[in-house]
Structure 1
Amino acid sequence: GSGEEALAQVGDYRPDLILCDVMLPGIDGYGILLELQQQPELATIPFIFLTAKSTYADIRKGMDLG
């Protein structure tokens, strides 16, 4: 699915944990996390990135987002 679909699912189902690929059509995984962090009721859900990206910059970006 797309990043937009993922955000809709999170809002509907309020999962206990989110596993999210960085590379998604539409909003990427980084954008999803940024959106969730803006919503107090969703900001505390643990979020784990999955990705094939392995550069230091990609890893650092995910860590910097929280």
Structure 2
Amino acid sequence: MIANLAAIPDPADRDRAVAAVLDAVPGLQAELRATRQAAVVELRATHSLAEVADTLGISMPRVSQIASGVSRRL
């Protein structure tokens, strides 16, 4: 299943799919968070922080947190 998520070609779609699984499957969070982080970093390479936040439907600070590997469940 994780390989299927990682293979989603559009990074925004990949992020949303991973986010949904993260909320549903706590035991796989570390690997899923890494996949989500990679998707956000990939988006940030070609888009502004505001554009990525808008695309993903999350705040700009949350985009920065995900890109830097910060968990929202500290």
User: Normalization by structure 1: what TM-score?
Assistant: 0.41
User: Normalization by structure 2: what TM-score?
Assistant: 0.38
The structure with higher relative contact order (CA 8 Å, sep 6+) is 1
Greater share of residues in helix: 2
